[in-house]
Amino acid sequence: MNIVVSAAEMQTMAEQARLQGRTIGLIPTMGYLHEGHLSLVEMAKRSCDVIITSIFVNPTQFAPNEDFARYPRDLQRDTELCRSAGSTVLFTPEQNEMYPDGYSTFVSVDGISSLLEGKFRPTHFRGVTTIVAKLFLLTKPHRAFFGQKDAQQCVVVKKIVKDLRFDIEIIVAPIVREKDGLAMSSRNVYLSPQERSEATILHASLRRAEQLAGSGERSAANIVRAMKSMIQQKQNAVIDYVEIVDADTLSALDRIEKGIPALAVLAVRFGATRLIDNALITVR
Amino acid sequence: MNIVVSAAEMQTMAEQARLQGRTIGLIPTMGYLHEGHLSLVEMAKRSCDVIITSIFVNPTQFAPNEDFARYPRDLQRDTELCRSAGSTVLFTPEQNEMYPDGYSTFVSVDGISSLLEGKFRPTHFRGVTTIVAKLFLLTKPHRAFFGQKDAQQCVVVKKIVKDLRFDIEIIVAPIVREKDGLAMSSRNVYLSPQERSEATILHASLRRAEQLAGSGERSAANIVRAMKSMIQQKQNAVIDYVEIVDADTLSALDRIEKGIPALAVLAVRFGATRLIDNALITVR
């Protein structure tokens, strides 16, 4: 596995790989890797010759009051995980190379960036789309792999690819969960034992949504009410949002209907830790 | 010369050319070509195998009160000019393919986009940087050629290339002028005979700035005052701005000094026609 720190070196290596006809897959991450990330590497191996995992804790997607400084980092462990998972390149650029003094260019998506997460983290997606565009330009992938856990991020990234015409296929992999259902997240490490135990309610509430829809409930408000009442039973849970939205556009749905893929999405805080999760709701 | 309308076809063609090891040069234009544009094609021929001239009157760089609808268009004439100049590809995408319904992604540069032209055309550069980024992704050039007439556009495009790390060399070609000094511009066709005659004062005022600096004047305010008083003698001239700025950062300069490349820049309206021009001011 090549470990590349220099952005210029990364770009040269990517261009050479393309000229050799090799297929490049990118897995952009903020590190502190878990099985969710590694499932993306596994998936990339099936269709790509060059598997680039990038690790960059991107400051522009954190608001000043958020957890940028304390976001968990363990490059040594990540390096071993990447290597054993089969990544062929680990790209770990420095902050001052990605955002040098005077940096001032941003990629942004109107509309969908302001919904859901965007209501609570108004500058978040501008940071995401900017760094993703930049990683695309530096690593020149044919395919890029994202996890469904960050459902809105997937929609926003697909939108910049479609709108700006990045020549890249975006592949979204299913959420990987702990045995008790908690979606894998680098931020789970923040949780106290009590919070960790309570946090399983998120997945339970999503399963309840699936059950309700499966048994004929069509009202989004009714499903949301049932989810919220479950989550609110947990002592430390503070709900940012629980919504049923169109899976493609993220616009709120009043009713779940055949042929419209619906997504139950939520963000809930347990103490200082903010968790997100989601599930596709299909009606047959 | 290949004439390509489909964006997907353009991108496939560009990718194939790159895989064949051919060097791609892009000349992005809004059409109604003049010798300034053709000098860019000439320049591209010296270092590129594939010369893509794009013609697209980009709506997002025009404000609602500006001249988008009446911007001059003559695709047939442009096609012949491109062909005879040696362009190998003419890319003329449709508006609804570049900006389909629901389009919502923008590339923007803070700071320099709000100076000079940006003060009078606040959304202009967001439109420019968005379409340029998109044309870069569709045509995959190794080099892209821009005219110095749009000095601020050149600075802003270089900035997105540097910040987002587009793997593209930006080449800026000198201003091409009519015999009487007026900078070539597709908008010159708007001028009445009287306005056309008066408009030569713009170049004359820039030459006066060069002379003053050459004879030892260091005060930007004094040079600007001399330029403005020349321009104001013309009956139809209404000055938007005349400034001396740092040629790299576009920040205003108080004094012209050795080693700091200065740019005299101006925007002046003659009736409904708004013209821009500029000159590098060097001190030995």
Residue-averaged pLDDT of chain A: 97
The pLDDT value recorded for residue B134 is 98
Is A189 within 8 Å of chain B by CB? Answer: no
Inter-chain residue contact A104 with B15, CB threshold 8 Å: no
* Sign of the C-alpha dihedral computed for residues B250, B254, B258 and B264 taken in this order: positive
The whole-number pLDDT of residue A76 equals 98
Contact A110 B106 (CB under 8 A): yes
Burial of B215 (0-12, 13-18, 19+ CB in 10 A): exposed
pLDDT at position A259, please? 86
Q: Which of B11, B164, B166 sits opposite A165 (nearest CB)?
A: B11
Q: Does A238 touch chain B (CB under 8 A)?
A: no
Which candidate from A15, A110, A134 shows the least CB-CB separation from B164?
Answer: A134
Segment A88-115 shows an average pLDDT of: 97
pLDDT of B284 above 80: no
The token pair that represents A210 in the structure block: 């699936």
Looking at residue A284, its pLDDT comes to 75
Cα separation values, A52 from A6, A202, B241, Å: 14, 32, 49
Which residues of A fall within a CB distance of 8 Å from B163? Answer: 103-105, 134
Condensed to tens digits (0 to 9), the pLDDT of residues A169-211 reads 999 999 999 999 999 999 999 999 999 999 999 999 999 999 9
Question: Nearest C-alpha of chain B: how many angstroms from A56?
Answer: 15
Residue of A163, A246, A249, A251 to mutate when probing chain B, most B C-beta within 10 A: A163
pTM comes to 0.98
- Residue B26 backbone phi and psi in degrees, to 5: -115, 135
The mean pLDDT value of chain B amounts to: 97
Cβ-defined contact of A165 to B111 (cutoff 8 Å): no
Give the three-state DSSP class for B239: strand
Residue range B180-230, pLDDT digits in tens: 999 999 999 999 999 999 999 999 999 999 999 999 999 999 999 999 999
Domains of chain B as residue ranges with CATH: 2-173 (3.40.50.620), 186-281 (3.30.1300.10)
Q: What percent of chain A has pLDDT over 70?
A: 100
pLDDT digits (tens, 9 = 90+) for A229-284: 999 999 999 999 999 999 999 999 999 998 889 999 999 999 999 999 999 998 87
pLDDT of residue B259: 86
Chain B residues touching A17 at Cβ < 8 A: none
A70: burial class by Cβ within 10 Å (0-12, 13-18, 19+)?
A: exposed
Which chain B residues contact residue A7 at CB under 8 A? 165
Cα separation, B105 vs B127, whole angstroms? 11
Write a three-state SS string for chain A.
CEEECCHHHHHHHHHHHHHCCCCEEEEEECCCCCHHHHHHHHHHHHHCCEEEEEECCCHHHCCCCCCCCCCCCCHHHHHHHHHHHCCCEEECCCHHHHCCCCCCEEEEECCHHHCCHHHHCCCHHHHHHHHHHHHHHHHCCCEEEEECCCHHHHHHHHHHHHHHCCCCEEEEECCCECCCCCECCHHHHHCCHHHHHHCHHHHHHHHHHHHHHHCCCCEHHHHHHHHHHHHHCCCCEEEEEEEEEECCCCCECCECCCCCCEEEEEEEEECCEEEEEEEEECCC
| pLDDT at res. B282 | 85
In tens, the pLDDT along B231-250 reads 999 999 999 999 999 999 99
Q: Look up B124 and say whether it is catalytic.
A: no
Contact A18 B19 (CB under 8 A): yes
* Percent above pLDDT 90 for chain B: 98
Question: Is it the case that residue B253 has pLDDT exceeding 80?
Answer: yes
Q: How far is the C-alpha of A200 from the C-alpha of A186, rounded, in Å? A: 16
The position carrying tokens 């009202």 is A219
Please state the ipTM of this predicted complex.
Answer: 0.97
